[in-house]
Chains A and B, each alone.
Chain A
Amino acid sequence: MNSLRKYIDKNKPLFQKGGKFEKLGSTFGAFETFLFTPNHTAKSGSHIHDVIDLKRTMIVVVLALLPALLFGCWNVGYQNGLAFGIERSLLGHFFFGFWKFLPLFIVSYVVGLGIEFASAQIRGHEVNEGYLVTGILIPLIIPINTPLWMLALAVAFAVIFGKEIFGGTGYNIMNVALIARAFLFFAYPSEMSGDKVWIYGLPDQAAIDGFSGATPLAQLAQGATQNMASMSDLFMGFIPGSIGETSKLAILIGAAILLFTGIASWKIMLSTVIGVLSIGLLCNAFALNEYMAVPAYYHLLIGGFAFGAVFMATDPVTAPHTERGKWIYGFMIGAFVVLIRVFNPAYPEGMMLAILLMNVWSPLIDYFVVQSHIKHRQKRFLVKKNA
């Protein structure tokens, strides 16, 4: 550690103003602060001095994502084994999936960080660490069969149009990872839905008899409410789906880490669940078709709901900042998810669209919460004065 610090200090002058590599200053700063907590703090204004900074926050989120990532890799191998009747050991499944997942992961990071570093360099800003989490989220929310060039295009689109043009990390209106997914979803729908894309190898080879690669969501959307995966399979994640979204157990472990460290808002997580349950129960009460009769708690276990509620709806940049606003925001996400799933046959999954829509609305929610607060206090003041 010490020698690393010395090495960095020795080379620092080269990258500072007037140095040989002055133009690469942002890149140098990014690596330095990634390796060592910077020792300078804000001097003016009121700031909370804390051991945690943006880079450390992001690392905790990445840690929280690890269970879902590891399980996702194993599940890729497991589903591939199921489809073609291949037996492998636990580690065999994991490594099979891991090698298929790795290229997606690398492409996401190389393209995203490349754009991030380049734009920081052009503007002369410090490199922001926002992409650390986005880069790991993107490969987790897409199907394993996504072609790499499509992923690269989607990442470039999301980082440039979702983030950089708004001013970089912390200024984006919508969740960058979800923009990448939305781009893929609308640009290449055949690669992002159907029952072939979720299982590695399925588009090229025929699966063994009786195997369907359809996700539980797709089955429900097609009206097949029979022979669904069992509750425990859904919870543990032994189902086809995007890489990181299948195991609710792994996601709950991640949620526990986020809540324990206080990084994600429990209000948003809880209110999304309440939103799903209340609209789900409402659908149950007027069960006009089979999908409406699906038990409300089922919606919590299928599709990307759990992953989205824990890791994407709670994104501190795009969620509302007022406490009451967070309740409204979460509830609306939950409500929209069920509405889109049940009533819109064109989109089997609504989590992505629900979060993106509420991202756009969250400044509006904040505005109204603050306004109502002001009005409330004004009223109290007037009552006192008149009394």
Chain B
Amino acid sequence: MSIFSSKNVKLLSGPLNLQNPVTVQILGICSALAVTVKLKNAIVMGLSVIVVTAISNLVISMLRNYIPSRIRIIVQLVIVATMVILVDQVLKAFVYDVSKQLSVYVGLIITNCIIMGRLEAFAMGNKPWPSFLDGLGNGAGYAMILIIIAFFRELFGSGTLMGFQIMPKAFYEAGYVNNGMMIMPAMALILVGCIIWFQRSYNKELIEKE
């Protein structure tokens, strides 16, 4: 089997749309609400999750035949926790201000449902390379949704993107005011709902049959 067979490519592309962990499987919502006020935070968070899912999927998949099934959750958690601590240290070293704003949410990647879900559902039963791609794809699917939400929240909530002023000054002089609701987690949930709405009206196969 070649490295990028169509089956493997599907592992990467599926989570971006029809198998999206956030909008289709409704996993990892809590952190999607918490870290999406600013686009920069969302990008860093998305990258961290991609790294953690991909590498822990790879490691667990390599160990899958040696893990006793009765203690597998503990073993998985140890590996995920190690990865998260590594990521956290890297963030602290290179993007300290973002790491401070993300605060506990980087640590909380350990409990991110997507990671546990991929480890249990995929890495425990598949070879290392597909598992790695699956982790990469699911992390990317999560990061994509985070970035879309953060884009709208930062643009309409603070009038900026990546910290740069986007909304022109003339708007504010004409009476435009930043929308305070966008800063609140409630609005992130509504935006997730909107994305699900658009996705389902675009991909009819996602709509449940009655």
The answer to whether the Cβ of A298 comes within 8 Å of any Cβ in the partner chain is no
Asked if A188 and B179 make an inter-chain contact with CB atoms under 8 angstroms apart, the answer reads yes
A-B interface contact total, Cβ < 8 Å: 20
The answer to whether the Cβ of A103 comes within 8 Å of any Cβ in the partner chain is no
Shortest A271–chain B CB gap in Å is 29
Asked if A183 and B177 make an inter-chain contact with CB atoms under 8 angstroms apart, the answer reads no
Asked if B184 and A186 make an inter-chain contact with CB atoms under 8 angstroms apart, the answer reads yes
Asked if A188 and B180 make an inter-chain contact with CB atoms under 8 angstroms apart, the answer reads yes
The answer to whether the Cβ of A115 comes within 8 Å of any Cβ in the partner chain is no
The answer to whether the Cβ of B26 comes within 8 Å of any Cβ in the partner chain is no
The answer to whether the Cβ of B166 comes within 8 Å of any Cβ in the partner chain is no
> Which A residue's beta carbon lies closest to that of B179?
A187
The answer to whether the Cβ of B181 comes within 8 Å of any Cβ in the partner chain is yes
CA distance A150 to B175 in the complex (A): 10
Asked if A161 and B179 make an inter-chain contact with CB atoms under 8 angstroms apart, the answer reads no
Asked if B181 and A191 make an inter-chain contact with CB atoms under 8 angstroms apart, the answer reads no
CA distance A165 to B193 in the complex (A): 10
Shortest B184–chain A CB gap in Å is 6
Asked if B184 and A150 make an inter-chain contact with CB atoms under 8 angstroms apart, the answer reads no
- Asked whether A147 and B175 contact (CB < 8 A) given A161-B190, A186-B184, the answer is yes
CA distance A189 to B190 in the complex (A): 19
CA distance A189 to B181 in the complex (A): 9
Asked if A190 and B181 make an inter-chain contact with CB atoms under 8 angstroms apart, the answer reads no
> Which A residue's beta carbon lies closest to that of B182?
A187
Residues of A within 8 A of B184 (CB): 186
Residues of B within 8 A of A150 (CB): 177
Which residues of B8-48 have CB atoms within 8 Å of chain A's CB atoms?
none
Q: 7 additional contacts, CB 8 Å, given A147-B175, A161-B190, A183-B181?
A: A150-B177, A165-B197, A186-B184, A186-B186, A187-B181, A187-B182, A188-B180
Can you sample 20 A-B contacts with CB below 8 Å? A147-B175, A149-B175, A150-B177, A161-B190, A165-B197, A183-B181, A186-B180, A186-B181, A186-B184, A186-B186, A187-B179, A187-B180, A187-B181, A187-B182, A188-B177, A188-B179, A188-B180, A189-B180, A190-B177, A191-B177
Residues on B close to A: CB < 8 A?
175, 177, 179-182, 184, 186, 190, 197
Q: Which 9 A-B pairs have the closest CB atoms?
A: A187-B181, A187-B179, A186-B181, A187-B180, A188-B177, A147-B175, A189-B180, A186-B180, A183-B181
